Amino acid sequence: MRKYILTFCALTCFVLTTNAQTKKDNKTKTEKASSLQVKTLNKGTAKVENIQAYQVYGESFDIKNTLTKNELGKLYDNMKNGDSLENIQFTSTIESVCKKKGCWMKVDLGKGEEQSFVRFKDYGFFMPLDGEKANVIVHGKAFVSEISVEKLRHYAEDAGQSKEEIAKITKPQLQYNFEADGVYLKEN
């Protein structure tokens, strides 16, 4: 009987120690993510001039600690599938807009072909269909996720791509996403 009690006590100590270490590791990861967000929010170097030349879509927001497109691109480089950061704002240029109703846009990240896919919170607003190449200031949540083949094909169809181009989409892909609650669009 004594042997069973000692085994039970040893097993309990092992489980408690392992659980405590897991909680400590999770706390460290959370602290690192929080510190990344705080550093990011305090380091934006984008300069915005003549805000009166911009029209607001969605919610208006104070222009401060705004990231450049390159700074946002570097931020995404440090993120993995499922990571997100709230209360981010950045400047960029619209590369493409949904041709059906303006319900999404792709913006330049200063990384060549890689772009950020921007949707609008609760479909609360849409961008002009002719908004390509316009300068924008975007506010909201940055996140990374895997996009299914079905969704990628849907987005390609919305963008007006040919059936042949759409058929070439055969693998899911990691995507730099952004959910905007407000966008300032510079009037051309």
Q: What is the pLDDT of residue 106?
A: 95
Q: Are residues 87 and 14 in the same domain?
A: no
Q: Are residues 171 and 87 in the same domain?
A: yes
The CATH number assigned to the domain holding 74 equals 2.40.50
Cβ atoms within 10 Å, residue 155: 19
For 157-173, what is the mean pLDDT? 92
Inter-residue contact 131 to 102 (CB < 8 Å): yes
Q: Are residues 38 and 56 in the same domain?
A: no
Q: Are residues 108 and 20 in the same domain?
A: no
Q: Cβ contacts of residue 184 below 8 Å, gap of 6+?
A: 51, 54, 55, 56, 57, 63, 136, 137, 138
User: Would the pLDDT of 27 be above 50?
Assistant: no
∠ CA 97-89-50 to the nearest 5 degrees? 85
Q: Are residues 72 and 153 in the same domain?
A: yes
User: Would the pLDDT of 88 be above 90?
Assistant: yes
Question: Where does the pLDDT of residue 71 fall: very low under 50, low under 70, confident under 90, or very high at 90 and above?
Answer: very high
User: Would the pLDDT of 36 be above 70?
Assistant: no
Q: Are residues 19 and 104 in the same domain?
A: no
For 70-98, what is the mean pLDDT? 93
Tokens coding 57: 């879509």
Q: Are residues 83 and 153 in the same domain?
A: yes
Range of the domain at 7: 1-42
Q: Are residues 28 and 74 in the same domain?
A: no
pTM of full prediction above 0.85: no
Tokens coding 182: 């407000």
Q: Are residues 111 and 169 in the same domain?
A: yes
Q: What is the pLDDT of residue 108?
A: 95
Number of domains, the chain? 2
Q: Are residues 38 and 102 in the same domain?
A: no
Question: Where does the pLDDT of residue 130 fall: very low under 50, low under 70, confident under 90, or very high at 90 and above?
Answer: very high
Q: What's the number of CA atoms in the CB half-sphere (13 Å) around residue 112?
A: 1
Q: Are residues 139 and 177 in the same domain?
A: yes
